[in-house]
């Protein structure tokens, strides 16, 4: 009997040890699908008046958690991408985007999400739009010149750049094992890059006034610069989709992976492929958004076919609000890409940074759940580090809250975030705390709103030193309460100044 008890104890101990090991080494695959210039109101699941069908993203929402109050760090592209990949508000580094042939947004000391995951055994890949800079080698100053908006602008020609060396400072130097993409769809060089090298070298120049293809809505938005012969912008999204599906199919089911799939859509140029034209009631943009939904569906289908669906966290979001064409689209088609929010891309108004956000995590997140919690994309890094048991170095991800309790439906002290900073450019700042939103001036506008759209929505300009809105009842930001609650203004000004000065906003990250 004594021997039997010893044997049973050993079995229990081994079982406990094995369970502990399994829990400790649990590493789900992670896929982030990041749309470009997609509005909150473009997702049909959260806008019943949407003129755009989004069946795949609606399905994703029905299988995971959809957030109704999620925000990008900035109202423009590069800063939001930096924030997502570092858990750091963009304004701690810079406010503007990375221009054509611009230097990296990152410092060498920055700790990124792919680096952290790679250190614990993840295979990491970035496919699509990078727009965070490279270390280009130039032979001389730009020799090209073009006239735009009445101004002469210089640009690099192919002969101005040293193409003989590999390109450093890009995804491979930020923790990604693999990269494939075109850099940025409307910025040179117009060419495919795989890892740190060009597949084909650019030898001609993109004529931004004569691209060689038709466009049905908006402008090409192309900057002049080097391109490969025969570059066809209509082939970009399909090829990125194909590459992403192929990469997923190559993965070893026993090795965890992190895929950051940064879409160039539905950002301008608005170029839906032929098979997607007429699929929406919101014009060419609506068709392009329908195609974007299809692309997300192809990724989800590839995960399922590979048998990876049950052990993969999928996050879908967008870098900022919709582009200025959304004003005309709303008046012409009755489709409001910004949803019921005020403002667009660039704005500190809600429509500039209030973005779609869906997380699917099978067997962990309750399907079809909806959260009204205020969250930010900077929280992705802290959350994924917690889920994967990855250690974050001191001072890394200084603005990233761990949202895991929220995802798992556990009890927690609400709200999880003390406050959330809204900002695009240096002069206008917003702070969200609970239901209150403070803006440090009379307007949150950077994108010029047409008078016709103001009349359509009943918006009026404010004459005030600042703005304060109760977002629980006034998400359109129409009723300024700034003069009524001076004590709330003082509190929120103090929090904003503290965040700006101390270099972090999450105490536990220090």
- Two tokens, residue 199: 């597949």
| CB contact set of 158 (below 8 Å; sequence gap of 6+) | 201, 202, 203, 204, 205, 226
pLDDT, mean of residues 250-277: 97
Angle of the 325-333 helix axis to the 283-305 helix axis, nearest 10? 100
Q: CA–CA separation, 71 vs 68, rounded Å?
A: 9
In this model, does residue 47 exceed pLDDT 80? Answer: yes
pLDDT, position 11 = 42
143: confidence class by pLDDT, cuts 50, 70, 90: very high
C-beta separation of 127 from 260 below 8 A = yes
In this model, does residue 504 exceed pLDDT 50? Answer: yes
- pLDDT tens readout for residues 365-380: 999 999 999 999 999 9
Angle at 166 between CA 161 and CA 168, to 5 degrees: 95
* SS3 letters across 103-121: CCCCCCCCCCHHHHHHHCC
pLDDT, position 25 = 62
pLDDT, position 147 = 84
| CB contact set of 13 (below 8 Å; sequence gap of 6+) | none
The H or E element that residue 369 is part of is strand 369-371
pLDDT, position 510 = 67
pLDDT, mean of residues 159-178: 97
pLDDT, position 8 = 43
Helix, coil or strand: residue 163: coil
Instruction: Tell me the pTM.
Output: 0.94
In this model, does residue 140 exceed pLDDT 50? Answer: yes
In this model, does residue 23 exceed pLDDT 80? Answer: no
Whether residue 266 is preceded by a cis peptide bond, meaning omega within 30 degrees of 0, is: yes
**383 exposure class (CB count in 10 Å sphere: 0-12, 13-18, 19+):** buried
In this model, does residue 360 exceed pLDDT 50? Answer: yes
- What is each CA distance from 3 to 6, 8, 15, 252, in whole angstroms? 5, 9, 18, 43
Q: CA–CA separation, 233 vs 270, rounded Å?
A: 10
pLDDT, position 9 = 43
C-beta separation of 318 from 261 below 8 A = no
pLDDT, mean of residues 280-291: 98
List the one residue out of 69, 86, 67, 68 whose CA is nearest residue 78: 86
In this model, does residue 277 exceed pLDDT 90? Answer: yes
205: confidence class by pLDDT, cuts 50, 70, 90: very high
- Two tokens, residue 92: 């701690």
* SS3 letters across 50-88: CCCCCHHHHHHHHHCEEECCEECCCCCHHHHHHHHHHCC
Computed over every residue of the chain, the mean pLDDT equals 94
Q: How does 252-268 read in b/e, with b if 16+ C-beta sit within 10 Å?
A: eeeebbbbbbbbbbbbb
- pLDDT tens readout for residues 418-469: 999 999 999 999 999 999 999 999 999 999 999 999 999 999 999 999 999 9
pLDDT, position 226 = 97
Q: CA–CA separation, 91 vs 79, rounded Å?
A: 8
In this model, does residue 22 exceed pLDDT 50? Answer: no
pLDDT, position 15 = 41
3: confidence class by pLDDT, cuts 50, 70, 90: low
pLDDT, position 150 = 79
pLDDT, mean of residues 237-241: 98
Helix, coil or strand: residue 274: helix
pLDDT, mean of residues 193-199: 97
* SS3 letters across 203-266: CEEECCCCCCCCCCCCCCCCCCEEECCCCCHHHHHHHHHHHHHHHHHHCCCCCCEEEEEECCCC
| Residues above pLDDT 70, as percent of the chain | 95
| CB contact set of 256 (below 8 Å; sequence gap of 6+) | 27, 28, 29, 30, 117, 121, 122, 123, 388
In this model, does residue 64 exceed pLDDT 60? Answer: yes
C-beta separation of 417 from 374 below 8 A = yes
In this model, does residue 394 exceed pLDDT 70? Answer: yes
Q: CA–CA separation, 108 vs 93, rounded Å?
A: 12
Q: Which residues pair with 65 in a beta bridge?
A: 359, 369
Q: Is the dihedral of CA 353, 378, 33, 368 positive or negative?
A: negative
pLDDT, mean of residues 205-209: 89
- Of 116-120, 206-210, 226-230, the poorest mean pLDDT is in 206-210
Q: CA–CA separation, 422 vs 428, rounded Å?
A: 9
pLDDT, position 508 = 79
């Amino acid at each position: 009997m004594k021997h039997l008890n010893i044997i049973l104890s050993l079995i229990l101990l081994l079982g406990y040890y094995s369970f502990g090991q399994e829990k400790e080494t649990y590493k789900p695959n992670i896929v982030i699908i990041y749309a470009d210039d997609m509005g909150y109101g473009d997702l049909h699941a959260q806008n019943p008046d949407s003129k755009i069908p989004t069946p795949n993203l609606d399905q994703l929402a029905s299988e995971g958690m959809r957030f109704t109050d999620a925000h990008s760090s900035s109202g423009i592209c590069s800063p939001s991408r930096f924030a997502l990949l570092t858990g750091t508000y963009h304004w701690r580094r810079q406010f503007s985007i990375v221009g054509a042939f611009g230097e990296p947004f990152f410092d060498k000391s920055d700790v990124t999400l792919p680096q952290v995951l790679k250190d614990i055994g993840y295979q990491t890949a970035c496919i699509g739009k990078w727009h965070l800079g490279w270390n280009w080698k130039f032979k001389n100053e730009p020799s090209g010149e073009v006239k735009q908006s009445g101004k002469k602008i210089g640009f690099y020609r192919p002969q101005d750049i040293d193409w003989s060396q590999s390109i450093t400072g890009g995804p491979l130097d930020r923790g990604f094992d693999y990269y494939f993409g075109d850099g940025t769809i409307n910025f040179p060089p117009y060419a495919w890059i795989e890892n740190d090298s060009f597949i084909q070298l650019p030898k001609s120049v993109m004529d931004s006034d004569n691209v060689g293809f038709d466009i049905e809505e908006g402008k090409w938005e192309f900057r002049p610069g080097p391109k490969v012969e025969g570059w066809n912008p209509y082939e970009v999204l399909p090829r990125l989709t194909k590459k992403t599906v192929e990469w997923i199919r190559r993965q070893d089911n026993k090795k965890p992976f992190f895929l950051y799939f940064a879409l160039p859509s539905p950002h301008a140029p608005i170029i839906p492929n032929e098979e997607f034209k007429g699929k929406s009631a919101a014009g060419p943009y609506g068709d392009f958004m329908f195609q974007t939904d299809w692309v997300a569906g192809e990724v989800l289908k590839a995960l399922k076919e590979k048998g990876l669906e049950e052990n993969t966290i999928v996050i879908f979001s967008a870098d900022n609000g919709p582009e200025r064409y959304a004003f005309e689209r709303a008046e012409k088609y009755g489709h409001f890409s910004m949803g019921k929010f005020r403002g667009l891309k660039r704005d500190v108004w809600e429509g500039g940074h209030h973005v779609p956000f869906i997380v699917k995590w099978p067997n962990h997140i309750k399907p079809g759940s909806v959260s009204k919690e205020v969250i930010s994309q900077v929280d992705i890094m802290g959350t994924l580090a917690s889920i994967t048991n990855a250690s974050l170095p001191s001072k890394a991800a200084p603005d990233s809250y761990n949202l895991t309790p929220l995802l798992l439906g556990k009890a927690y002290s609400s709200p999880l975030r003390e406050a959330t900073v809204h900002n695009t450019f240096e002069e206008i700042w917003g702070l969200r705390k609970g239901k209150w939103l403070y803006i440090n001036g009379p307007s949150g506008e950077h994108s010029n709103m047409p008078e016709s759209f103001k009349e359509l929505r009943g918006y009026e300009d404010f004459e005030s030193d600042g703005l304060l809105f109760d977002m629980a009842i006034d998400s359109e930001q129409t009723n300024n309460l700034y003069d009524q609650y001076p004590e709330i203004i003082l509190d929120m000004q103090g929090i904003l100044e503290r965040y700006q000065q101390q270099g972090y906003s999450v105490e536990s990250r220090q």
